[in-house]
Amino acid sequence: MIIDESHTIKSSGKPAHEYGMVLLKTLKLLRSGTEGTPPAVTYAGEKEFADMKRRMGEIAGFRPYRKKLCMGMVAIVSLIIVVMLLAVHTHSYARCNESKDIMVGNYDGEPGIVSYDTEKLREIISYDDRYVYVERDAFENFLEENDADGEIWIVFGGFYKLPGLAGAAETCIYERGSRGSIVQIPYEGIRDSWYMELLKLL
């Protein structure tokens, strides 16, 4: 069995030279052949001598740890880890991000995108928690300019997990020929869906 001298010295709480003296005294007792000492434990062979030489070398080279230096290193490493975690958290996307984009699509045999120019569409379309408000004349002109036929969909709001990865949006259908300068369209929000709420938490 190989004994770790540095661990033994630290555990004893004694200086290295005192531990070495105890070891030498033990060796002297074992070699003296005093009465009651079993022959089986006496140090007489080359193997035992080499082991003792190794142990003495470890004792001579023992250097106690500097507790203040070790504590300082631990504090510095901990501070670096905290700073790195804060940097990652600051520059990372949140678990769920609100989307304020607006898009207009159509279905005329096949689904298509009329426009996803949010800045321009915000001049024509607005919404709250229950309704979408569309400036009828401006929107009708917008649809004609973009040759939008068929069923018109307005996609807006909602949330996304990561850009281009996952998310959901509110939707409603615009009916052409609606009356009034402002068309008010009710919609059923995704906030009422337990599935969407679960997706936000994941």
Q: Whole-angstrom Cα distance, residue 153 to residue 187?
A: 12
90 bridge partner residues: none
pLDDT band at 2 (very low <50, low <70, confident <90, very high): very low
The pTM of the full predicted model, rounded to 2 decimals, is 0.51
Q: Whole-angstrom Cα distance, residue 92 to residue 89?
A: 5
* Range ranked top by mean pLDDT from 60-74, 117-131, 156-170: 117-131
Query: Which three-class secondary structure state does DSSP give residue 13?
Result: coil
Lowest mean pLDDT among 58-67, 172-181, 189-198: 58-67
Q: Is the model's pLDDT at 170 over the cut of 60? A: yes
> Residue 172: its pLDDT value, please?
93
**Cα-based angle 3, 6, 12 (whole degrees, multiple of 5):** 95
For residue 120, CA distances in Å to 28, 116, 141, 169, 185 come to 97, 9, 13, 19, 19
* Range ranked top by mean pLDDT from 16-30, 43-57, 137-151, 165-179: 137-151
